Structure formats: C-alpha cells, structure tokens
A = this chain, B = another copy of it.
C-alpha cells in the first residue's frame, strides 16, 4: 500500500506541474495532503518485535526472556540459553500441536519443524491458537504467521503434507535427517519429535520414522469424548514403541475425516487439549534442559482429576522390524552404559566427599539426599532411561496376578482397557 501511495504522490506532482491555471493547484495540494496522511496511517500498522541476539536475564519490561532466564537464578535450570540449540519437530498442528508449538516458540526454542496437511476451519475455534480470520489457510501457514509474530528468533520450517502417504513419509524422514541447523549434532537433525496427531495411521508413521532413525519422541493424545488425554515418552530399543503395545495407546485416536464423513464428530475442549499440550511441552523442556523427572507415561482423567503414570518395556516380539533392531543395539550397549553411569555416580559421590562446601563442620552435620531416591534407582542395574522414574510397578510386574500389584495400578490399566473397549465396540 505504501508503494501505491508514493506513486500517487508523484502522479499528483507531475499533474500539478502540467497545469497552467494556478487556480487548480489548491485542490491538488489538498489531495497531496490526503495522500500524505494516508501514508502515515498505513505506516502505523502492527509493530513487530525485533530479533534478540543473546538471551539476557536483565529485569526490564522490554526483555522477552527475563522470566525464562530467571529459571537459572531460581536453581531450576543450569543453562537456559541452551534452548536455542535445540530443534523440535511437531507432527500435527491441531488442538494439541498448535498450542505445543506456541509454548515452545514463547520459550525461545531454536528451531521448530511443523507438519500438517489440514486447513483451519471455524469448527476448530473451540480450541486455542487459531483465529477465525485464518479460516481457509493451511494450518502450517497460519501457524507460521502467528508464531513468527510472537517470536522472530525461532527458526520455523513448515511442511504441508500427509506423513501417511509414500511421498509425505519420505519428505518427513529426510527433513528429520537434515542437520544444517546444527551440523555437529549427533544422531538425526532434531532433538525430539512430538506426535500431536489424531489417528492411528499417523502415529504408526511417526513410530516407523523414529524407530528407523533411532529418534526419541513423545506421543500425545486426547480421547474422542474430550475429557481425557495422555503423553508418553518413546526411546527406540529402550521403552515400548507404539507397535509394541498398541492397545493401550490407540485408545485415544479416531480419524477426524472418517467421523466427519459420517456426519458426526469427536468432541473437543480447549481445556483438555491445553493441559495435554502443557504437560507435553513441560516434559519436553525437562528432557532438553535436563531438570526434574521426565514422565514415561502420564494420563489425564479430567472428570476425576486423576493422573495415572506407568512404564512400558519394549516387546521382544514386536511386529516392527526397526524396533527389534533398536532393542538388539540397546541390549549390546547396556552393560557399558550401566557401568559408565555407575562410575559417574560414584565419581560425583566421592567428589562431594572430597570437597565439602562447609569445611568447618564442627557440629558434624551431614546432608542426606532423600529427595530423589527413584532417580538413583533408575541409574543402577534396572536399565531405566536417564531421567525416568518408577512410579508404578515395571512392565514385568503387570504380568503377575493383579492381587500383587498396587491398587492404583490396576485402576489405571482397567480404565485404559475400558476406554479401549468402548472405542472398539
């Protein structure tokens, strides 16, 4: 618009010069004034926030990172600024994925990869993120528009494709392999894949890609009655993959397209999806920035405000070939990994003994660390991935008669099975 207005000013100027009668110059002056006023109006459009070179902890109203960098001063995170090094892929930019993308963008994640093939509709307005005026845009385009306005520091890559098609799957896996953002990174080009899709096929596609690439990922889902959801951590070879124990995980996905075609649709709520996105990204931050305990599985039953946890070991008879390969590799490196982590723990323990913080301990006060006994257990012989906690009996215990397991454990499984039965009926 500004270009058009400038050209108009030039046109008016040459018209004025071509007119010989001086009585005509007054209306042209008036027109020029009008155009100038319009130019300044057009310029006062939305002001974009500029890029920030380094994350600062300075407490000023203009610093978009002050409240995040404060996590270091509070002793929660050792080095918050590392978040700029990480790449996260979000598959599915719907009710959960879009909110997860916004949270990571506001946290200043280094790079976000977004995948979706759907368009924004007014029927999506009962969930957070998309705005009515974005109706008709692809979800990826609308998301990039909103996210780049919110935080221009984040590198955004969007892919408008269906990962369950042959072509889509190929583009998906090759985009995960691309290391141009951090060339010296080990493994694939992303640090974590978040699955925020709403159907079984798409979950199986994410599972296949991550098993092939040995890529850690997190799964999320919301039930079709809108009142429960879950998140799950999947480490190829180390935890159950999506094909190892599908019944417990499928329970929450139904293809929106199938439902729409039949003239019905799944219910959804911004609350349940917001909570699931929040739990998912919170665990993503814990995983990337190495604080707290990453949940292997966390459910959310909103009717009772009940949050079941559990853990699933890989299935040695899994139907997924890549999963079996990763299981073999994991068992091969397991003894070395256990020894290394044991040695590291002992070194840390002895270094603490060698250099006490307070040398003049005349009262012989000693600190007993009883806050995280689970984490220590996890690092010992029982082969739990780092950061995982055994809140419920391990997968092996589930095979014993129910009488031996804790009450709450049985409830969780029963409940999940009931949900599954309801879906399958």
Residues of chain A having any CB pair with chain B under 8 Å? 1, 4-5, 7-8, 11-12, 14-15, 18-19, 24, 27-28, 30-31, 34-35, 37-38, 41-42, 46-49, 59-68, 70-71, 73-76, 99, 102-103, 106-108, 121-123, 125-128, 131-133, 135, 149-151, 224-227, 260, 263-272, 274-275, 277-279, 281-283, 285-286, 291-293, 295, 298, 302-305, 307, 309, 389
Q: How far is the CA of A260 from the CA of B66 in the complex (A)?
A: 11
Q: Is there contact, CB below 8 Å, between A125 and B49?
A: yes
A239 to chain B, nearest CB (A): 16
Q: Is there contact, CB below 8 Å, between A282 and B271?
A: yes
Q: How far is the CA of A71 from the CA of B60 in the complex (A)?
A: 45
In-complex Cβ contact of A67 among B7, B126, B309 (8 A): B126
Q: Which residue of B lies closest to A12 (CB)?
A: B31
Please give, as numbers and ranges, the residues of chain B lying within 8 Å of A295 by CB-CB distance. Answer: 305
Contacts known (A11-B34, A307-B307); A122 close to B61, Cβ less than 8 A: yes
Contacts known (A66-B123, A302-B282); A133 close to B106, Cβ less than 8 A: no
Contacts known (A47-B133, A68-B269, A126-B64); A59 close to B12, Cβ less than 8 A: no
Q: Is there contact, CB below 8 Å, between A106 and B128?
A: yes
Contacts known (A31-B8, A260-B59); A64 close to B122, Cβ less than 8 A: yes
Of residues A27, A63, A66, A271, which shows the largest number of chain B Cβ atoms within 10 Å of its Cβ? A271
Of residues A99, A272, A282, which shows the largest number of chain B Cβ atoms within 10 Å of its Cβ? A282
Q: Is there contact, CB below 8 Å, between B103 and A131?
A: no
Contacts known (A8-B34, A76-B227, A305-B298); A123 close to B71, Cβ less than 8 A: no
Q: How far is the CA of A283 from the CA of B227 in the complex (A)?
A: 11
Please give, as numbers and ranges, the residues of chain B lying within 8 Å of A272 by CB-CB distance. Answer: 278, 282
A34 to chain B, nearest CB (A): 5
Please give, as numbers and ranges, the residues of chain B lying within 8 Å of A4 by CB-CB distance. Answer: 34, 37-38, 41
Of residues A11, A265, A272, which shows the largest number of chain B Cβ atoms within 10 Å of its Cβ? A265
Please give, as numbers and ranges, the residues of chain B lying within 8 Å of A128 by CB-CB distance. Answer: 99, 102-103, 106, 128
A13 to chain B, nearest CB (A): 11
Q: Is there contact, CB below 8 Å, between B122 and A62?
A: yes
A192 to chain B, nearest CB (A): 14
Q: How far is the CA of A47 from the CA of B65 in the complex (A)?
A: 33
Contacts known (A107-B269, A303-B292); A73 close to B264, Cβ less than 8 A: yes
In-complex Cβ contact of A132 among B15, B150, B270, B281 (8 A): B150
Nearest 9 interchain pairs by C-beta = A292-B303, A275-B278, A70-B267, A49-B132, A61-B121, A274-B278, A46-B133, A271-B282, A74-B225
Of residues A11, A49, A65, A275, which shows the largest number of chain B Cβ atoms within 10 Å of its Cβ? A275
Q: Is there contact, CB below 8 Å, between B133 and A68?
A: no
Q: How far is the CA of A265 from the CA of B277 in the complex (A)?
A: 26
Please give, as numbers and ranges, the residues of chain B lying within 8 Å of A304 by CB-CB distance. Answer: 292-293, 389
Q: Is there contact, CB below 8 Å, between A7 and B34?
A: yes
Of residues A63, A103, A225, A274, which shows the largest number of chain B Cβ atoms within 10 Å of its Cβ? A274
Contacts known (A18-B24, A225-B74); A125 close to B151, Cβ less than 8 A: yes
Query: Can you add 14 more A-B contacts, CB < 8 Å, to A68-B267, A274-B278?
Result: A1-B42, A5-B38, A19-B19, A47-B132, A48-B133, A49-B133, A59-B260, A63-B123, A64-B122, A73-B264, A74-B226, A76-B227, A107-B126, A293-B304
Q: Is there contact, CB below 8 Å, between B122 and A106?
A: no
Please give, as numbers and ranges, the residues of chain B lying within 8 Å of A42 by CB-CB distance. Answer: 1
Q: How far is the CA of A225 from the CA of B8 in the complex (A)?
A: 56
